Amino acid sequence: MAEVRSVIFLRHGEADKQTPDVFFGRTDTALTEAGRMAAASAANRLSRMRIDAVYTSPLVRCKQTARLLKLAPEIQVEEGLTEMNFGKWEGKSRAECRKDEAAWAAFSAVNGAPPEGESVADFHNRVIEAYNRILDATEDKKVLLIVAHHSVICSIAADALGLGAGGAFHFRCAPGSLSSIDYVDGFATLSRWNA
């Protein structure tokens, strides 16, 4: 019987200043009390699992979430898991950004980008390269945990399912939610989403 390798994804908890409609990609915000409570809830759920390795984005909200889990493996920081750089749109609401219809249309395209920000394609490629580095560095590990951001997790899921960079727009994951991908002989199955 083929062995299953699982990668569990935890989206960081709610962070300071965070609202559902605002771009806070590279803005390095800390967890709110609700965010810390979400991390505690995730810790409870993860305590029943064996986790062989833990990786996190370098941003504070992810590192705090990872530390609050109090898991045995040492936390590894992977720069490539950083959220998208939204350039001039950092800290602005989507409604405000949509007012510039040409810029919004350019951003919505796979090769587009927010003004002075990272393109969707470049972001996707960066994240997938980082993810592949993690997979390669942990080939002997059966269960990995990655604490990251909404866009990072959605990009990895889209890539694993063969949907490409644009496929990430079809996913949503809530702060503090768990998702997972299982691999059997290199074939990826989305085994849990937004739990």
CB crowding 91-110: b at 16 or more within 10 Å, else e: ebeeeebeeeeebeeebeee
Any domain includes 75: yes
* Residue 146 counted as domain residue: yes
Number of domains in the chain: 1
**Taking residues 64-83, what's their average pLDDT?**
95
3-class DSSP assignment, residue 159: helix
Q: What is the pLDDT of residues 85-105, one digit of tens each?
A: 999 999 999 999 999 999 999
By C-alpha distance, which of 194, 192, 186, 156 is closest to 5? 186
Compute the distance between CA of residue 57 and CA of residue 135 in angstroms, rounded to an integer.
15
Note whether residue 103 is domain-resident: no
Q: Is the pLDDT of residue 39 over 70?
A: yes
Kindly report the CATH number assigned to the domain that includes residue 73.
3.40.50.1240
Confidence band (pLDDT; 50, 70, 90) for 20? low
Nearest to 84 by CA among 54, 52, 64, 107: 107
pTM assigned to the model: 0.93
Q: Which residue has the higher pLDDT, 112 or 11?
A: 11
Show the domain range for 22: 4-83+119-192
What percentage of the chain exceeds 70 in pLDDT?
A: 97
User: Which pLDDT band holds residue 184 (cuts at 50, 70, 90)?
Assistant: very high
Residue at 108 is within a domain:
no
DSSP state, 172? Answer: -
Q: What is the mean pLDDT of residues 149-164?
A: 95
Assess if residue 65 is contained within a domain: yes
Q: Is 114 a residue whose pLDDT tops 90?
A: yes
In a domain, 42, yes or no: yes
In a domain, 126, yes or no: yes
Q: Which of residues 97 and 22 earns the better pLDDT score?
A: 97
Residue 110 lies in a domain: no
